[in-house]
């Protein structure tokens, strides 16, 4: 039996919920997948409405960021000072949504990030990067990096101070972007004096499915152990990678292959146990830690990829969200 067997049994609260759901349609086009994801997003948004902070606790601004051959939208959520005891600007968090580089939008996490901003007293910049296959690699990650630079340059107008904390964060493909821009920013003179202070990687992809190094073969088993994951399968991962059209060996995508991981900001990583990407996240935390990076890792046995979003009322999903906020605070405490 695999030493990872304890990760692979569905959480007892989630198992019956999955059993009640209709079978996931196969061979959908990207357009059909986008429509299905949007419908799920609308349901999630309705569930989130009662949990939203009061309008008096935050404000929202949309901005356009120039990128190669166009512009992208960023949605900025800024807490409103709660009184004289809260003075000065807030830390800054730049967020990238998930969706396999091909799906989703900044709207997908909008309500959740409003709660994150108010609860954690951080300004959130939610990035609506362009999607593959119309915009293949490196467009998405270049958009992510352009938005990061824009956020750094415009922190003051967003009521943020990079000295209070400058975090990059994202989920799944967005976790890949977060790790990638953290590597780029480490080596870019643009960020001298305004370095990132943390990276929050939620269920991230860090290595191309066809670029797994031989020395890590025994540590990267989950892609074959969770071949038919409920919401991300090996086939899905292969298809998204093909549509994104990245060079498997390019460290802007396969961040695990970067020549060096030293000097990166502290990292908090969340990993789902029943996820083809599981072992990548676990291994990346190990590689960062062995490179001298401060790390914190939480793994959730029995949780499918994205399961904390699809089944938000379960105890395990609540724990993921609680840990997200605790992990963010851990990163912010590293920067002060």
**Residue partners of 36: CB distance under 8 A and separation at least 6:** 25, 28
- Considering only CA atoms, which of 60, 334, 336, 99 is closest in space to residue 199? 334
CA distance 53 to 111: 9
Whether the pLDDT of residue 88 is over 80: the answer is no
Query: Where do we find the tokens 């730049």?
Result: 94
* Residues taking part in catalysis: 172, 275, 305
Check if the beta carbon of residue 293 is closer than 8 Å to that of residue 218: no
Average pLDDT over residues 10-30: 90
CA distance 321 to 308: 8
Whether the pLDDT of residue 260 is over 90: the answer is yes
**How high is the pLDDT of residue 24?**
78
Report pLDDT digits (tens) over 104-134. 999 999 999 999 999 999 999 999 999 999 9
Average predicted confidence (pLDDT) for the chain: 95
**How high is the pLDDT of residue 314?**
96
> 5-334 architecture in CATH?
3-Layer(aba) Sandwich (3.40)
Whether the pLDDT of residue 41 is over 90: the answer is no
**How high is the pLDDT of residue 37?**
87
**How high is the pLDDT of residue 55?**
94
**How high is the pLDDT of residue 1?**
39
Check if the beta carbon of residue 179 is closer than 8 Å to that of residue 246: no
Average pLDDT over residues 16-20: 93
Q: What proportion of the chain, given as a percentage, has pLDDT over 70?
A: 99
**How high is the pLDDT of residue 316?**
98
**How high is the pLDDT of residue 40?**
82
Average pLDDT over residues 7-31: 90
pLDDT band for 3, please (50, 70, 90 cuts). low
Whether the pLDDT of residue 89 is over 80: the answer is yes
CA distance 258 to 207: 10
pLDDT band for 82, please (50, 70, 90 cuts). confident
Report pLDDT digits (tens) over 266-324. 999 999 999 999 999 999 999 999 999 999 999 999 999 999 999 999 999 999 999 99
- Rounded to a whole number of angstroms, the distance between the first and last alpha carbons of the chain is 45
């Amino acid at each position: 039996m695999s030493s990872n067997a304890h990760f692979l049994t569905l959480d007892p609260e989630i198992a019956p919920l999955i059993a009640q759901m209709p079978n996931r349609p196969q061979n959908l086009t990207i357009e059909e997948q986008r429509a299905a994801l949007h419908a799920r997003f609308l349901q999630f948004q309705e569930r989130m409405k009662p949990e939203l902070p009061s309008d008096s606790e935050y404000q929202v601004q949309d901005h356009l960021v120039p990128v190669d051959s166009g512009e992208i939208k960023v949605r900025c959520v800024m807490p409103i000072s709660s009184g004289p005891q809260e003075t000065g600007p807030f830390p800054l968090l730049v967020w990238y949504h998930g969706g396999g580089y091909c799906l989703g939008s900044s709207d997908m996490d909008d309500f959740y990030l409003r709660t994150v901003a108010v609860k954690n007293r951080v300004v959130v910049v939610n990035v609506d990067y362009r999607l593959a296959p119309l915009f293949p690699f490196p467009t998405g990650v270049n958009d992510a990096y352009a938005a990061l630079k824009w956020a750094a340059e415009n922190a003051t107008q967003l009521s943020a101070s990079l000295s209070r904390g400058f975090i990059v964060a994202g989920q799944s493909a967005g976790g890949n972007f977060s790790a990638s821009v953290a590597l780029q920013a480490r080596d870019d003179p643009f960020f001298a004096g305004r370095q990132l202070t943390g990276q929050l990687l939620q269920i991230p992809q860090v290595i191309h499915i066809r670029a797994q190094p031989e020395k890590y073969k025994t540590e990267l088993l989950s892609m074959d152990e969770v071949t038919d994951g409920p919401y991300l399968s090996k086939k899905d991962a292969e298809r998204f990678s093909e549509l994104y059209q990245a060079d498997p060996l390019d460290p802007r995508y396969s961040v695990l292959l970067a020549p060096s991981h030293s000097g990166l900001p502290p990292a908090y990583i969340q990993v789902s146990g029943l996820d083809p990407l599981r072992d990548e996240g676990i291994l990346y935390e190990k590689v960062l830690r062995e490179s001298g990076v401060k790390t914190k890792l939480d793994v959730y046995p029995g949780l499918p990829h994205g399961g904390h979003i699809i089944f938000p009322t379960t105890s395990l999903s609540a724990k993921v969200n609680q840990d997200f906020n605790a992990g963010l605070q851990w990163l912010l405490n590293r920067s002060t």
